[in-house]
A and B are shown apart, each in its own frame.
Chain A
Amino acid sequence: MPEAMPQAAQRPPAAPDVGIPPDATAAAVRRVADAVRRRVLDYTLKNNGGYLSQACSSAETLATLYLRVMRLGASQAPLVPRPFAGVPGPSNPDAFTGADYNGPQGPALDRFIFSPVHYALVLYSLLIELGRLGPNGLDAFNQDGSTVELIGAEHSPGHEVTAGSLGQALSQAGGIALARRLKGETGRVWVFMSDGEFQEGQTWEAFAALAHHRIGNLGVYIDANAQQCDGAMAEVMTIEPLAERLRAFGADVHEVDGHDSDALAAAADGFGTGDRPLVVIARTDPCRGIELMRKRAPKLHYLRFTSDAERRAYENALNSWVRGD
């Protein structure tokens, strides 16, 4: 065992998240997920484009993870995100990751590894709803010199590893999970992935390794929205039958409606003491909550307004949403 563990690992587990009961209900998840979608739409308008469909598909999954699945301590990070402090390196002691938004590290606490970092705005918006990021936490979004980047980096709030080259985070999470087992820690490692990442060979290498090494403290939630940059996944390169493939690779697989928080949470019940990785395939709708998006299908990956009329239509949708129409 390493003799010198990181300082954070020696701290006692912190109190539960501020203002959020650890046994949150599906109604609480729904409220948070709606607010996340609204905020992402707002910033998509402010930036004249953005990863909006990802909020539509993943809002309940991410909210359920934070509100009902993961055992996290209170945020250790400032409400207003720190500016970029330079890339990590031997001559830069100031570099940091955004993991402290997910609380301290501790033997009994869970870890969250965020893989499809183009979903960053969804995660930032969620952190605001949870009080882990201040209400003005997005003021620096997509601004030069900010850590609140369009595509998240490991210094971005809620992020811990470098994952933007898709399909790489699961392997890193596997190493973290293996290390935690070697250290006798009981906390689990949760990975949020997008379905497109199952086109990468590395993802399957990782599942082979997780099964071979009987890593039972790592759980994966997949936002299976069936769409990717070029369009519908079924047209680009199908990954189906995903559940059967993952079962054949030795995972404990649950396939659920990704907008049903109770089903998402139930899949993780009691997880963490076995010897197989858990996979929850969240089947999702990339237009959920913003019906206007359906007009653009199957090109949903990045919303860039093609006309003033289209932009106004989304503005109207946001305004009527805010008014509660």
Chain B
Amino acid sequence: MTETVTRPHRDHLVRWAADKPEVLVLSADLTSSCEADAFRDAYPQRFFSLGMAEQNMMGFAAGLAREGFFPYIHTFAVFVTRRPFDQVAMAIAYPNLPVRLVGFLPGLTTPGGVTHQAIDDVGLMRLIPNMTVLEAGDATEVTSILDVAQAVDGPVYIRQLRGEVPRLFPADEPMRLGRARLLADGDDLCVISSGICTEEALRATAALQDRGLGVRHLHVSTLKPFDDPAVLEALSAVRAGVVTMENHSIIGGLGAAVAERMAGHGIGRRLLRLGLRDTYAHGASRPYLLREYGLDAAALVRAAEDLTGTRLDIDEADLAAVRVGTLTAAEKTEDL
């Protein structure tokens, strides 16, 4: 059974920043919602409330970064990437300043509807020169993502998770910049997933392998730069084709990055991109939305059937029965 960690970012941020006096947190009226309240209470002199005024907040962050500080902006992903896009591009990214933009509620993880659902944030941030784009997929990555970001010379967009977060990866195997995680190996089908879609993919890949399909499954947490040789090797190695799964529009995000990579290297395989197909979503529960928009385990099974041209006879019960616990290290929580 997968371990679930409650609000892993909240306390980790406090511990992590304890010996980093140059780390500041800037917030735009969503402090508790972005699990920055414990930091605020622990280090009030390093926490700055800038109100519902994201454009100005980006400029303040840029100015603080020019003076040697490391501002960690905490707000919802939509308010990091859409509303102040010009400020992020001009004040922060052009001068390559070490501002860390921590965006919460990626994609369909919120029932808040279209205004709160960041379905284009990865694409927007990938477009910006100098920007590094990271995405957390589980509790281990939610915490280790800060070390990865802090080591980057330049701005970083962190697509972050909050609340109840599963631990899919061992706590002692932290995220590494530009390195995908190999979760299953096989030669028929390549599955590349990111963020919360990895949990969904894991439910399907085990069932696919039970049916004799060789699946090479990679979890990607560095969306830019997108140059991991293991990804290229996996794309080239499989027989039937490639499926990408992302909690984002299929334009501009992981699926697009994979397509660019395949085209650039002349990898002639079919590619099916699971994600939002050039559509907005709406306010509803996460399982409902993942099913409605085809981002769930069943969608991956359908994609596998399409690429292999075979009926796999995997039903909902098979997927629900699959446990991802075999790939976790819940017993290692003391490593935190």
Chains A and B bind each other? yes
B69 contacts A87, CB within 8 Å? no
A173 to B59 CA separation, bound complex (whole angstroms): 8
Whether B94 lies near A162 (C-beta < 8 A) is yes
Question: Are the CB atoms of B68 and A5 closer together than 8 Å?
Answer: yes
Check: A16 CB closer than 8 A to any chain B CB: no
Determine if A168 and B69 form an interchain contact, defined as CB atoms under 8 angstroms apart: no
B86 near A173 with CB under 8 A, answer no
Q: Across the interface, name the chain B residue whose C-beta is closest to A154.
A: B95
Task: From B47-55, B142-150, B299-307, B310-318, give the one contacting chain A.
Answer: B47-55
Contact status B53-A209, CB under 8 Å: yes
Smallest CB separation, A174 vs chain B (Å): 5
Q: Is the CB of A206 within 8 A of B94?
A: no
Q: Is B247 on the interface with A (CB-CB < 8 A)?
A: no
List A contacts of B94 (CB < 8 A): 87-88, 154, 162
List residues of B (51-67) whose CB comes within 8 Å of A's CBs.
51, 53, 55-67
| Contact partner, A206, options B21, B56, B129, Cβ 8 Å | B56
* Cross-interface CB contact of A209 among B22, B60, B129, cutoff 8 Å: B60
Taking A4-B68, A201-B55, A205-B56 as contacts, is the C-beta distance between A171 and B91 under 8 angstroms? yes
Docked-complex contact A173 and B63, CB < 8 angstroms: yes
B153 cross-chain contacts in A, Cβ below 8 A: 90
Given that A1-B22, A4-B68, A87-B94 are contacting pairs, would A165 and B63 also be in contact in the complex, using a CB cutoff of 8 Å?
Answer: no
Number of interface residues of A (CB under 8 A): 40
> Assuming the A-B contacts A90-B130, A161-B95, A168-B91, are A180 and B62 also in contact, with contact meaning beta carbons closer than 8 angstroms in the complex?
no
Partner of A88, one of B50, B61, B95: B95
Q: Are A165 and B60 in contact (CB under 8 A)?
A: no
Alpha-carbon separation in the docked complex, A87 to B63 (Å): 18
Distance of A230 Cα from B7 Cα, bound (Å): 52
Within 8 A of A (CB), among B26-58: 48-51, 53, 55-58
Q: Kindly list chain B residues whose C-beta atoms are within 8 Å of the C-beta of A95.
A: 96
Quick check: is A72 within 8 A (CB to CB) of the other chain? no
Contact B154 A172 (CB under 8 A): no
Shortest distance from the beta carbon of A89 to any chain B beta carbon, whole Å:
5
* B90 on the A face (CB < 8 A): yes
Q: Which of B102-153 contact A (CB under 8 A)?
A: 129-130, 152-153
Which residues of A sit under 8 angstroms from B86, Cβ to Cβ?
165, 168
Known: A162-B95, A209-B50. A168 touches B67 (CB 8 A): no
Chain A CB within 8 A of B194 CB: no
Q: B79 CB to closest chain A CB, in angstroms?
A: 13
A19 within 8 A of B: no
Tell me which residues across on chain B come within 8 A of A11, comparing CB atoms: none
Q: A212 CA to B48 CA in the complex, in Å?
A: 10
Interface residues of A in 151-179 (CB under 8 A from B): 154, 161-162, 164-165, 168-179
Cβ-defined contact, B69 with A202, below 8 A:
no
Cβ of A270 < 8 Å from any Cβ of B? no
Judge whether B193 is part of the interface by a CB distance below 8 angstroms. no
Report the minimal beta-carbon distance from B227 to chain A, rounded to whole angstroms.
Answer: 14
**Provided the pairs A172-B59, A201-B55, A202-B55 are in contact, do residues A213 and B48 lie with their beta carbons within 8 angstroms?**
yes
User: Which chain B residue shows the least CB distance to A212?
Assistant: B51
* Contact status B154-A89, CB under 8 Å: yes
Q: Does A2 contact B (CB under 8 A)?
A: yes
A178, B71: Cα distance in complex, Å: 12
Please, which residues of chain A bring their CB within 8 A of the CB of B69? Answer: 2, 179, 182
Whether B21 and A202, one on each chain, are in contact in the complex, defined by CB atoms closer than 8 angstroms, is: no
Say yes or no for B244: interface residue by CB 8 A criterion.
no
Q: How far is the CA of A4 from the CA of B68 in the complex (A)?
A: 7
A180 to B63, CA, bound (A): 10
Identify which of B48, B49, B90 contacts A178 (C-beta below 8 A).
B48
A-B contact pairs, 15 of them (CB 8 A): A2-B21, A2-B22, A88-B96, A90-B96, A161-B62, A168-B55, A168-B91, A170-B59, A174-B59, A178-B63, A182-B69, A183-B67, A202-B53, A209-B56, A213-B48
Contacts beyond the supplied A175-B67, A209-B50: 6 A-B pairs with Cβ under 8 Å? A162-B94, A168-B55, A171-B87, A172-B60, A175-B61, A179-B64
